[in-house]
Structure 1
Amino acid sequence: MKKTLIIFTAVFLFVSGFARAEDMRLEAALERNRAAVGNPLYLYVTFYGSQSVERPEMPSLDGLQIKYVGPSTKISVVNGRVSRFISHMYLVIPLKSGRFEIGPFFVESHGQIYKAPAVTLTADGAPAAAQARAPGALPAGNEPQGAPSYVSDRVFLVMDIGKRLVYINEIVPVTIKVYLMNVQGLRDIEYPVYPHEGFSAGELAEPEKRTELVHGVRYNVLVFRQDLFGIKEGDYILGPAKLRCNLITRKQSSRRSSIFDIDDFFSRRFGYRTYPIELESKDIPVSILPLPEDGRPRDFQGAVGDFAMDVNVNPPEVKVGDPVVLRMTISGEGNLDTVTAPCLLSAEKFKTYEPQVTKKGGKKIYEQVIIPKTDEVKEVPEVVFSFFDPESGQYKTIRKGPFPLDVVEQPESERGVKMVSMPGVDQMFYPGEKLGRDIIYIKENIGDLRRKGRFLYRNPLFWAGQFMPLVLFGVFCVKHRRKERILRDKSYARFLKAPRKARKGLARARAYLGRDDVLPFYDVIFKTLQEYLGGRFDLPRGNVTIQVIEDRLRPARVDESILGMLRDVFSRCEMARYASSVPGGHEAKEILEKARRIISYMEKIKL
């Protein structure tokens, strides 16, 4: 009997091992075998028979950008037979046209090496092949002006400037546009960056959204604007501009689903996926020219643009020694940072002060105080301002004045010391004094002192003491009523305790994350959000689902970005609790930050 049992066990182990070897295999497949240049697609490398296989190393291929997205596991039961596999997903973006062979692929499992043959991808430089997948895409050769080399039929980046030949200090407006069509949208959009050697850059303006019709195709467009001005003559290259964001697409699964298919459950419930992309525009050659020497006025100080000047003199009638305010306003189009104060010609008969400058919108205002020295002054001299106009390529000079000024001699009685302040403040006059008069000497003897009468009702502490019992009684009544309500109303008590419990839960999650203990981290985050939202809406923790919470929040017009973060946190936490491999590191920190922002936002709104 013992011998029979040993033989049966050996045969069973041999057969099970043979079946196991038969079931284990490695396969690789592309989402599709043909794609347009810049049009992303997925590569799936799937190992059947185990869920603990590391991802295969991906070769670096010229003309292809390959990024690892993550693993996906699946367990299915068909006719009592349990099968499991793990699929490693890669994002493949063709950067140029041609035929590419990706692979072969190798993985190791239980001491054995498994191989999958290479897959072939054909990248078409003309986007006509992609039009069948994205109706309305631009035909080949009809991209908008400045379309980048990395261009897709769905999303691409365009950089444009007003002119390619500019002068030093001339304003160069730069426009960067993100074109979007036939995708669910973009999120986590960063501001574009680009090299701008030879230029100084201003601040990027807030982006604006609009739609544009390009060759009969309507695009959603996000527009960024920035002003540059050249600081050094020569030939330079602007760009290429680069912009990072996450592209949102709807999930499409061709695999057969089952009741044990966890990935299929999340695909149906949260039917979108995001993957990072980096858009890149074409670079733009620009030449910066020096300002010409011919025709340069003597008073030219470096202003570049097309300006106008307005001059105002106030007051028109003064006495000798009284201040006159000369207000000079420079307005127009150009680089206001290069504008300096206009010149006042023939100011020998005036005492002049440095002008004060203010900048309001597209204007620069100079206010200069001048004081006539004699009553021989009959006018304020001519004011001159010179600038270089880059459109005409010539220097221009604006002359204003002279301005009539009535100056009279100061009366003898007013001659003394004057204090002159800034414009808009009345001048102060002090007549001349003789020393020894109107002087109060220091007392040598302080004299007799006596205390003045003090009244109790004039003391603030007296009134504070009168009202303090009333204040304390009011505080006691409020606290007592609140305590009674907490004991009587369980929903109210849960509502008050929810924020404190949420803070403790986030602290526990942060501690798990600090120890790289990822699985309890996702469990604590999920339970913390369930308890907090259950307390806010008086729901049992088991009834807190993303659909129930969205139904409660939408009538309150909650920010859509908060709802998106809430869906993302619930989705990732549920996947982490059921999946065999749990993402950590940066992704876990991102989940913790999103949970904190959700709770902080919920505390600020009134539901």
Structure 2
Amino acid sequence: MHPVVSAESTRRSFRVLPRWLLMLIACLASLNVSVLADGEAEFKFGQREVWVGQPFLLEVDIVNAEAWTEPQVPEIDGLTSTVLPSARESTFTQIKNGVATTRSTRTYVVRFVATRPGIIEIPPISLTVDGKRFESAPWRVIATKSEVGDLLVVEIIGTPKKAWVGQPVRLTLQIWVEQFVDRANRIRLDEADMWGLISAGESSWGLFKESLEELARNRRRPSGRRVERGDRTYFLYEIKHDVIPIKSGEIDPGEVQIVLRQPTGIAVTRDIFNRRQVEIEGIRPVIQTAGIRPIEVRSLPEAGRPSSFTGAVGRFSVRALAEPRDVSVGDPITLRLEVTDESPGIAGDLANLRPPPLRDLEALAGFRVPDDPTTGIVDGRTKTFTETLRPKRDDLDAIPSIPFVSFDPELERYVTASSEPVPINVTPSERLDLVSTVRGEDGLDQAILRGTTLTATTGGLRANHPVVDAATPRSEFEPGWATAAIAIAGPATFFTGLLLIRRREHRRSNPDAGRAAAARTKAKSVLGGEGSAADRVHASLCGLIADRLHLPEGAMTAREAEHAVERAGLERSDREALRSVLDAAETARYAGASGDDAELERRAAALIPSLDTLRPVRRPDR
């Protein structure tokens, strides 16, 4: 039998059921989001034994979270810490027994560097995930200072030891690496193996980075030679870089710090064909900072400096060529002036070599010379300047010798090299016979040519024909907007052109000012160029700082950039932002951390306007 359900009980059940549903929905809505969410934080320390001065990382994984904060790292004695801003994200989906699970992870990287040897305690590092607080367990690391000894010697030498402003100086980076020998296994690493142990990514190369990059583009590397020092065998690697000092004082090669991954042991194994194989069991870093032997850069002397000196330093010869040589007064003559650098050793900076001031030479007073000097074309050790001369008189028989003044570093005085005179033939220009061109009505020209006597009349020209009102119409001039525009356009164009000429002359005489003016455009171009995002960000920001502060154009490290902007008075907030971006780029380049490239580029681009306002700090006169 089936139970009998009355209509009244059925109506009562339908009235009660909605109340339970409403209560359940209200309870679920009142629950905190943190209860529903299952976000977690996982801390991953990489190692317990570290080297002083070498970075090591802590990774913090935030898993399946909707909201979180960055890790908070307290101050730690013996460690410097930085939370890298470019966190990486990843998503992993797994299907097991028909059930799909997804793990979404956002990873922050904390970069530590030990500043002293010994045991260092890392206290708990905290962050908040979906309203819950997570802390890492205390961690202890043992920092060891790598004893360099004589395993690695790095120094920079310059030639010549005493130089003048504008004189080329060759800097040579010498890296002495002791050959690794495993006497138990009778193994000696050769020259190529020892260079492979130098960590190019972890090392700082200063000005020599450009030379290394050029070698890499040509698929080459610095070659070393075997050198015996006492009872030890070294491989000596030399990297050369030429600089031209623009101010007196000391030459700054930038931060040059070499990191050698010295093996701590060698293992010998056999492959399946019983061939001997050698493997490195352990590595310890050997870090050495290069010292530079003093190079004195002196200012050019004021005494004996000719007024026609344009800044050339070295020994030069001059040759003049002209064509055509048979001309009339006022005809153009193309003068080519070839200036050749005959200095022994390194060639000078021919790209910035300026021509002699032809317009100011008294010997060229009989010629018209353009106001703006040409920039010239460089071919090897010769630079050719092309000018246009116009003879003013027909009694000129040669283009006189052109003097070129330079400062000879070996003689330590100003010298003048002159070209040979160029013979020319100048003839008088044709003159226009105005009488023969007179034309009129009724055969007036024939009367003049025949010498016909002209009859003088009284009344002037009006006596020839009667004057009527139609022949002398009266007109009134009413200036309008077009007339005003024409009147203003001429002076405006003149002053605009004059301003551009002065600006070009200023930049030519002050190359640092030209670098600073173009620094922002160059930085944006580098940032949007080719290569990895970290390399482009580093090169863009450091290059912008070097150009704005008139620093050498070689590679600049992140620490050098921070010190430079601090001396230049950059705002503290901008300095912190710069430090954060450069640290992120440096970690991405050398520590293997990956991140959001687009975010890193955006933050770098946001710093360009502030860095473009930097100005070099003037040193007080001594």
Q: For this structure pair, what is the TM-score category when the shorter chain's length is used for normalisation?
A: 0.3 to 0.5
TM (norm. structure 2) is: 0.39
For CA contacts below 8 A with separation 6 or more, give which structure has more relative contact order: 2
